[in-house]
């Protein structure tokens, strides 16, 4: 790793919060979960810049910190070779309600927006905000815009939207302030399925443009 080093901070009596600095939280979480001793953890939760590690009990927090530091050192040594995940293909109709506005703001044709988005390498970084709400890293620099000034009160399931450096596919029924560029019929969150979440941390996501 280059630049700042990760920092461990206590989070309650059973938790360590890792401030990942130059490491990808998804890579850190994946590496921790791969350790045999991770079966003794209650949860490993990656976020935008941190990973929360929660133990089952308050005993052994100092040895756990040492084990976490060893993981961080390993992740740093192989930073350029992130752990592979599955590849999930999501067909998209690039006809979102904000596509024309996004094209105008970034100075590209709508078709070029679709092409660049579909050709980019996306990966699941973390989950948050609502069940099934996956934040996907990998949005091309040219397509990056801040979120809408006024979020919409409700966004339907399957809406593909972008903001900052990320893409999301809305699970449905939530507010949303991201720029809507497409729609997919794929269900990424299904409470009747086991597991309900189709995506996992580290999965590679391929958006495949389809003709409306």
pLDDT tier for residue 77 given thresholds of 50, 70 and 90: low
Q: Could you tell me if 93 and 115 lie in one domain?
A: yes
Residue 72 lies in a domain: yes
pLDDT at 197 over 90: no
| Lowest-confidence region among 36-40, 97-101, 175-179, 186-190 | 186-190
Residue 170 lies in a domain: yes
Range of the domain at 187: 87-209
Q: Could you tell me if 21 and 97 lie in one domain?
A: no
The enclosing domain of 99 has a CATH number of: 2.40.100.10
Domain boundary residue, one of 77, 98, 116:
77
Mean pLDDT of the chain, nearest integer: 88
| Separation CA 8–CA 143 (nearest Å) | 34
The contacts of residue 177 (CB under 8 Å, 6+ apart) are: 147, 148, 150, 151, 152, 163
Cβ(58)–Cβ(112) below 8 Å = no
**Stronger pLDDT, 82 or 47, i.e. the higher one:** 47
The enclosing domain of 70 has a CATH number of: 3.30.1360.40
Q: Is the pTM of this model over 0.85?
A: no
> Quick one: pLDDT at residue 80?
46
Mean pLDDT to the nearest integer, 136-143: 95
Cβ(177)–Cβ(127) below 8 Å = no
| Separation CA 147–CA 176 (nearest Å) | 9
């Amino acid at each position: 790793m280059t630049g700042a080093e990760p920092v461990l901070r206590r989070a309650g009596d059973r938790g360590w919060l890792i401030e990942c600095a130059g490491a990808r939280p998804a890579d850190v979480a994946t590496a921790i979960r791969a350790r045999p001793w991770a079966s003794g953890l209650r949860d490993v939760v990656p976020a935008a810049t941190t990973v929360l590690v929660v133990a089952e009990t308050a005993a052994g927090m100092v040895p756990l910190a040492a084990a976490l530091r060893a993981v961080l050192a390993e992740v740093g040594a192989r930073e350029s070779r992130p752990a592979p995940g599955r590849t999930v293909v999501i067909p998209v109709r690039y006809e979102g309600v904000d596509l024309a506005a996004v094209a105008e703001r970034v100075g590209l044709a709508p078709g070029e927006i679709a092409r660049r988005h579909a050709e980019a390498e996306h990966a699941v970084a973390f989950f948050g905000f609502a069940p099934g709400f996956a934040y996907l890293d990998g949005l091309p620099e040219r397509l990056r815009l801040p979120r809408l000034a006024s979020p919409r009160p409700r966004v339907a399931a399957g809406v593909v939207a972008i903001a900052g450096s990320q893409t999301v596919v809305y699970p449905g029924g939530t507010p949303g302030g991201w720029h809507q560029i497409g729609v997919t019929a794929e269900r990424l969150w299904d409470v009747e399925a086991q597991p309900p979440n189709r995506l996992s941390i580290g999965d590679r996501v391929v958006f495949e443009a389809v003709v409306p």
